[in-house]
């Protein structure tokens, strides 16, 4: 049984987090889930109906966990690193909006679709 690595900073955690999202479909599912979660929170704020806010974690985690359990076949990092994983998800979301996520994966892994055992690149 492998022990979990203890990260000291988010920047140290980021390559690990992104490595858990190597399949482009998993990253797309995260983007959809985060978009729906943000829309749910927005609907709750605009309408004043807190029931919309209940949809945020269902949408966000539903799509993300499908991406991990079915697509990546790995365990979501949020189980071990909940706050850094949330921050990582928002970084992936931002990079996707900017059209820079594939370039970030390539920077860290040398390919926009690296294998699960691909090492980090020296330029990371």
The count of domains in the chain is 1
11 in a domain, yes or no? Answer: no
Q: Do the domain assignments include residue 73?
A: yes
The kind and range of the H/E element at 32 are: helix 24-47
% of the chain surpassing 90 pLDDT? 82
Q: Kindly state whether residue 94 falls inside one of the protein's structural domains.
A: yes
Residue 18 lies in a domain: no
- With respect to residue 7, please indicate whether it lies within any of the assigned structural domains: no
pLDDT at 25 over 90: yes
Q: Which pLDDT does position 109 carry in this prediction?
A: 87
Cα–Cα distances in Å, from 27 out to 5, 43, 69, 90?
A: 23, 24, 13, 12
Examine residue 14 and state whether it is found in any structural domain, yes or no. no
1: in domain:
no
Confidence of residue 122 (pLDDT cuts 50, 70, 90): very low
- In terms of residue numbers, what domain contains 39? 25-109
Interhelix angle 82-97/101-109, rounded to 10 degrees, is 120
């Amino acid at each position: 049984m492998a022990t979990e690595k203890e990260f000291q900073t988010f920047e140290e955690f980021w390559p690990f987090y992104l490595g858990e999202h190597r399949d482009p479909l998993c990253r797309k599912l995260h983007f959809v889930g985060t978009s729906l979660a943000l829309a749910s929170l927005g609907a709750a704020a605009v309408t004043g109906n807190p029931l919309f806010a209940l949809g945020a974690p269902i949408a966000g985690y539903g799509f993300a966990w499908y991406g991990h359990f079915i697509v990546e076949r790995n365990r979501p990092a949020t189980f071990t690193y909940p706050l850094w994983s949330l921050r990582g998800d928002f970084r992936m979301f931002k990079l996707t909006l900017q059209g820079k996520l594939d370039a970030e994966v390539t920077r860290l892994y040398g390919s926009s679709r690296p294998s699960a055992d691909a090492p980090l690149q020296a330029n990371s």
